[in-house]
């Protein structure tokens, strides 16, 4: 698996040396989950540089790599001994300080930014990645079912967020895939309102956006419910978001651009008169990071292909009224897409 990924990377770039340092790519290319290391990939050998805290773990998790203690030798020193050429690095992860040090240590090397190339390669998931994501999303579904009885007047947003997180971690997740969003009442008009001590009240919309990391892979889903009975206006907003989401889901298939899918959802919301209240992108890929390629947005030229994972999450947010977002995570297939999220999308009045 790792060998295949490294070969694909070398096929995509015309250089002989690649230096990987971001936690997600350390895991993607070697299996090492410790987060702090450097991989030196060459056509002949694969080296993993780390410090004493991780030597045992690295040898276990990355058996295809020769593990080197940085107290004995660092990656830069290893490159200094070779004849200067080009080295690919991750510009979107490396700090300016680390870049400057690399530049100084390797004055005769050409430094080639590779972050975008790698993100493009990671966009299509293999079967292992798909299976882990499916399990991570199922865990989020189960957490939602688990938390519903708690959604009632007097319970705080924080209680709900903690219960979701506790459930997912108790059942195998290593962490939430981002700080859990639970926004109620007028706060639900904030698309990324993190949970506060506000208590739920009758009439509140409650938007819960959450997911977890399971063996490195992220899940992501959003549901919005109402405490007590929904008003006609709340129902209208909810139904609009739902039909926008369903239309976008039906449009997902290989060959379609992120822009085209976004446009389908956005036009339904605009035609219902809520065009000014949907500001963010329709969706994003997931994987080792919560936000990956492809992107579904008004500008996205990303073309969907089988094996991509992408969220579909339209929303309407009205200040002093509240907001609704509904988010599913889907896998692009040959025929269309497989929805990995199974929680009901009927408007729940709790
Ligand atoms: Zn989300
Ligand atoms: Zn999302």
pLDDT tens figures, 25-42: 999 999 999 999 999 999
Q: Give CA angle at 347 (246, 230), nearest 5°.
A: 135
Q: Give the Å distance between the CA of 327 and the centre of ligand 2.
A: 7
CA 209 / ligand 1 centre spacing (Å): 5
Q: What is the mean pLDDT of residues 180-208?
A: 96
User: What domains can be seen in the chain, in order of their start residue?
Assistant: 2-122 (3.40.350.10), 127-339 (3.90.230.10)
Q: Which residues of 294-328 are buried (b: 16+ CB within 10 A; e: fewer)?
A: bbbbeebebebeebbbbbbbbbbbbeebbbbbbbb
Centre of ligand 2 to C-alpha 177, Å, is 10
Looking at the CA of 292, name the nearest ligand: 2
What pLDDT is recorded for position 83?
84
- Asked if pLDDT for residue 211 goes beyond 90, the answer is yes
**Residue 171 has what pLDDT?**
98
Annotate 44-88 with three-state secondary structure.
CCEEEEECCCCHHHHHHHCCCCEEEECCCCCHHHHHHCCCCCEEE
Share above pLDDT 70 across residues of the chain, in percent, rounded to a whole number: 100
Report the percentage of the chain scoring pLDDT > 90.
97
Mean pLDDT of 278-297: 98
Which ligand has an atom closest to residue 210 CA?
1
220 Cα–ligand 1 center, Å: 5
Report CA(324)–ligand 1 centroid distance (Å): 12
If one compares 62 and 82, the residue with the highest pLDDT of the two is 62
The pair of structure tokens assigned to 154 is 């007097």
296: CA distance to ligand 1 center in Å? 14
The reported pLDDT for the residue numbered 36 is 96
What's the gap in Å between 275 CA and the centre of ligand 1? 21
Distance 341 CA to ligand 2 centre (A): 12
- Residue 237 confidence (pLDDT): 98
Q: Tell how far the Cα of 283 is from the centroid of ligand 2, in angstroms.
A: 6
How far, in Å, from the CA of 136 to the mean position of ligand 2? 14
**pLDDT exceeds 90 at position 82:** no
Question: Taking all residues of the chain, what is their mean pLDDT, rounded to a whole number?
Answer: 97
Q: Please give the distance, rounded to the nearest whole angstrom, from the Cα atom of residue 58 to the centre of ligand 2.
A: 31
What residues have a C-beta under 5 A from ligand 1, the ion? 209, 220, 222, 327
Q: Give residue 84's pLDDT.
A: 82
Tell me: the pLDDT tens digits for 296-346?
999 999 999 999 999 999 999 999 999 999 999 999 999 999 999 999 999
How remote is the CA of residue 203 from the centroid of ligand 2, in Å? 25
Looking at the CA of 290, name the nearest ligand.
2
- Cα(222) to ligand 1 centroid in Å equals 5
pLDDT of 234 above 90:
yes
Alpha carbons 333 and 329: distance in angstroms, whole number: 13
Alpha-carbon distance 297 to 246, whole Å?
A: 16
Ligand of minimum distance to the alpha carbon of 310: 2
The pLDDT assigned to 196 comes to 97
Q: Is the pLDDT of residue 163 over 90?
A: yes
> How many angstroms separate the alpha carbon of residue 326 from the centre of ligand 1?
9
Adjacent-strand bridge partners of 222 = 209, 327
The pLDDT score that the predictor gives to residue 126 is 96
């Amino acid at each position: 698996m790792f060998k295949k990924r490294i070969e694909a990377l070398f096929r995509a770039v015309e250089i002989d040396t690649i230096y990987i340092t971001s936690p997600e790519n350390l895991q993607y290319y070697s299996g090492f989950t410790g987060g702090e290391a450097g991989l030196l990939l060459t056509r002949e050998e694969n080296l993993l540089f780390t410090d004493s805290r991780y030597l045992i773990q690295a040898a276990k998790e990355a058996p295809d790599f020769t593990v080197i203690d940085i107290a004995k030798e660092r990656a830069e020193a290893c490159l200094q001994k070779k004849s200067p050429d080009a080295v690919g690095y991750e510009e979107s992860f490396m700090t300016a300080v680390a870049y400057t040090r690399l530049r100084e240590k390797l004055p005769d090397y050409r430094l080639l930014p590779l972050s975008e190339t790698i993100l493009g390669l990671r966009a299509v998931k293999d079967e292992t990645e798909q299976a882990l994501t499916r399990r991570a999303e199922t865990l989020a579904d189960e957490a939602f079912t688990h938390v519903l009885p708690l959604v009632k007047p007097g319970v705080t947003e924080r209680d709900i967020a903690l219960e979701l997180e506790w459930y997912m971690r108790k059942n195998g997740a290593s962490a939430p895939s981002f700080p859990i969003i639970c926004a109620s009442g007028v706060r639900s008009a904030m698309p990324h309102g993190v949970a506060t001590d506000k208590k739920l009240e009758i009439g509140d919309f409650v938007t819960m956006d959450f997911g977890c990391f399971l063996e490195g892979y992220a899940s992501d889903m959003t549901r919005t419910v109402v405490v007590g009975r929904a008003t006609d206006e709340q129902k209208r907003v909810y139904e609009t978001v739902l039909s926008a989401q369903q239309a976008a889901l039906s449009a997902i298939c290989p060959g379609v651009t992120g822009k085209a899918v976004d446009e389908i959802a956005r036009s339904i919301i605009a035609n219902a008169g809520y065009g000014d209240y949907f500001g963010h992108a329709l969706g994003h890929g997931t994987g080792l990071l919560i936000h990956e390629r492809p992107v579904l947005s008004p500008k996205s030229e990303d073309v969907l292909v089988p094996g991509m994972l992408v969220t579909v999450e339209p929303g309407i947010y009205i200040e002093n009224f509240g907001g609704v977002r509904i988010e599913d995570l889907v896998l692009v297939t040959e025929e269309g897409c497989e929805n990995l999220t199974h929680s009901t999308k009927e408007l729940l009045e709790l």
